[in-house]
């Protein structure tokens, strides 16, 4: 009986591992070099984008995030540091100067979230 239960749990666990961890409905946007933006109707899980700031000068990022419903979190990270880790209450907007010649990731984590974001970045 214990063996049957264990095999059943392993089977269910392996089936679940094949499904995606999240989904997004009504996504309208683009991810272009220097500009990432989207409107979304329902974000459950994560959406991640990469920013590459080549060169020796300093870089910049300007972002505006608006949450209409649900919960939404935004993160900007480099390989060794978290730069932004913030819950979006209604509107989150800022401009940052970043060291160039690095890659950064921008991650949005939502739970039944709807809203929009606009992220522009480049070298000064």
Residue 100: Cβ within 10 Å count = 17
pLDDT at 2 (0 to 100)? 57
DSSP assignments along 104-119, one per residue:
EEEEEEEEEEEEEEEE
pLDDT in the model for residue 14:
44
SS3 7: helix
> Given this model, what pLDDT does residue 19 score?
44
Nearest to 92, CA basis, from 104, 108, 112: 108
pLDDT value at residue 57: 85
* pLDDT score, position 15: 46
Low-confidence ranges of the chain (pLDDT < 50): 6, 10-11, 14-19
All structural domains of the chain, each given as residue ranges with its CATH number in brackets, are 22-123 (2.60.120.380)
Please state, in angstroms and rounded to a whole number, the distance separating the CA atoms of residues 34 and 52.
9
């Amino acid at each position: 009986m214990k063996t049957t239960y264990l095999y059943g749990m392993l089977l269910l666990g392996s089936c679940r591992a094949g499904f995606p961890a999240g989904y997004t409905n009504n996504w309208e946007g683009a991810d272009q070099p220097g500009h990432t933006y989207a409107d979304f109707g329902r974000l459950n899980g994560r959406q991640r984008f990469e920013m590459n700031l080549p060169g020796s000068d300093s870089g910049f990022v300007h972002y505006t995030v608006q949450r209409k419903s649900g919960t939404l979190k935004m993160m900007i990270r480099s390989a060794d540091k978290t730069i932004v880790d913030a819950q979006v209450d209604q509107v989150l907007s800022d401009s940052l100067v970043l060291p160039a010649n690095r890659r950064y990731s921008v991650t949005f984590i939502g739970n039944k979230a709807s809203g929009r974001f606009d992220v522009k970045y480049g070298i000064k």
